[in-house]
Structure 1
């Protein structure tokens, strides 16, 4: 693997290309300043404007959401796993059809394995532009987003209609539903009754892990954050490890499928057969299958990164209420 080949598999934070029209709430006041990023895989965007940085299948998708202060992402549901870690800022995650069933405040480095089959949203409550990085289960990210009914209704009041084909049509651009196309139907009362609504204690206790707690757990081996034997015991179709300076090693290893390295603190030098690269927080590196590699901090100071690799588990439901 040449350095040029590997550089094509690194998405630098400063090179991320945002989409401001990715979802149905792109015109809704309070949500109209958010930016969506699809880093690896097709993502779940409803807009043809969404740029995909790396389209190579990994068994999961990597994305990100960037939002200024007080901007929120509207309440929605996914059929597969959705994991976030906070890269920059301070964020409030909330859930329930109206967002009032529970909430958790998350700081930089914290990670949240959001259960499937619950409506969830998030808001930047910091004082500057914030960024959260996302892992979505499956190569097709579960077939899109399921919106709370009021989100679809609010969007229509501001000119955006979601077709039953999962695509957006913007009346402000002169667009309308094609002939024979119906709008995406709202969930019925019966369907809404089947959506889970766990308590804050159930969600925070089972699915949130704090950065400083993981640093304290870190020793000479990486902390398995999400996995069958992880500190979040789940099988969402991928595993997530947390690596710090003490658990990093110069010994090279390889996997039989692509893996992803995502620094959250410090700079990391990745040595691989054929060359090396240095990653900073916010960078995303796709390591090819069967390529021997290692990752170590390249400077003194605090250093941590998340490592993601697919498993053979179905990217299915995580909530076990």
Structure 2
């Protein structure tokens, strides 16, 4: 399945179930928020910079092999389900770390969407610089995605350039648009969750399972609103930040598979697009939050 920024919530579903999914989200956020200076910094960290043609070719070969290993190393959800022989096995497969997408889809997301033609800084940049920066981000995202499937030296070769660039100073964060303050309030709630708070979220998910169909329609409406308003990148950034908050809240990969991520992603979409969504959609997307906190989603009209 291809990834896109429009389907960032689906990408997040995979990331919260991967051991190093938060690191993947960090790399994607670095790309979304990058200014020209950041892209030059990433390009300068490229392992081929300043190397001979032979060295660059050898490194490119190793990188291609590493990407092939990464693509084969993380099972996809469709394969796990197709190979199951009974209901119990299917359920176990769904709850394991099988993903909807794969590393080739992730790499295309980096190159075509994150650093694609809609990126303001990329549009005015030397294409050679943006290509090198894309290499660094795509390698890092792939290395962290398949962290458990790659030998440590292979993973480090993929992620090392990004880590070098990131160590210099904090990367700029993406603009979250008009709902930035409200998204921040939601994320702060997650960063401060305790055992009781996590239990409330799990209970809210259990209580809301019958609403899966209206939830999907409301999520589609939020994605469409983001598209027509030119805010797809900002909503995607909010979902990727929520991946980090999900882990910081103490939720597990099992929680992600069991519906907690979808509940959270709906809340994020509702907060980010509250000014363009109808009341029914806001009620559906915000119902887990209402069950957990007893309040409506933290939007400009509900604080």
TM-score of Structure 1 vs Structure 2, range by shorter chain: under 0.3
TM-score (norm 1): 0.22
Point out the structure with the larger strand share.
1
Point out the structure with the larger helix share.
2
